[in-house]
Structure 1
Amino acid sequence: MNRSMPATPDNKSRKSKTTTTSTSHTVRSIRKALELNNIYIDDSGAETRGAELIETARVIVKGDRQSALKKEEGLALRETAKKYANSNELTFLVHVWNKFWGVEDTRLVESTVDGELEDEEEAIRWMETAWEKDHLRCNWSADFTRGSVPPLVILDPALKILADHAPRVKNPKPDLTYGLEQAAFSNDKQRTNDENGAGLLIDMVHPFFVVEAKSAEKPINEAENQCARDGAAMVRLKRKFDRLAEGIYQDNKAQHGEDEDGNHVADQISHNKEEIPIDHYRTDTRAFAFSLAIVPQDAKMFFHWVEEAYSKEGQLLTINWHANELHTYNLKFPEPWIELHRDMDNVLDWGTLTRKQELKDLCDKILERKNSNKRQKT
Structure 2
Amino acid sequence: DGSYPMQREGAAFVAGCFQGAPGMFVFGGRATADRRLLSDLWFLQASPQDVLAAPNSRGCIYPFSYYHLHGIFQFFTYGVIFPIGYFVGRHAVNSPVRRPLHMILQLFGVALAICGFSFGVHSVRAPSWLHFKHAHAIIGIITFILTIIQFLMGLLGALILSRQPSNVQRLSGSSHQGSQEGFTQDRWGGAGAWRIIHRILGSIILTLGLVNISLGVFLAVLPSPVWIVWYIYMGVLVIILVSMEIIPLVCRRNIGSGGSFKPKDIRVDPKGTSQSSLKYSEEPTQEQSSIVIPAPRRSFGHVPSSHSSTFDNSVYRNGGGNNGNILDDMAPLVSNQRQPRPGDVSASASLPENNRHNTREYPISTRKRNRPGESGDVGHYVGYSPEHEQQM
Q: TM-score range by the shorter chain?
A: under 0.3
Q: Greater share of strand residues, 1 or 2?
A: 1
Identify which of structures 1 and 2 has the higher relative contact order when contacts are C-alpha pairs closer than 8 Å and 6+ apart.
1
Output the TM-score relative to the length of structure 2.
Answer: 0.17
Question: Could you say which structure has the larger radius of gyration?
Answer: 2
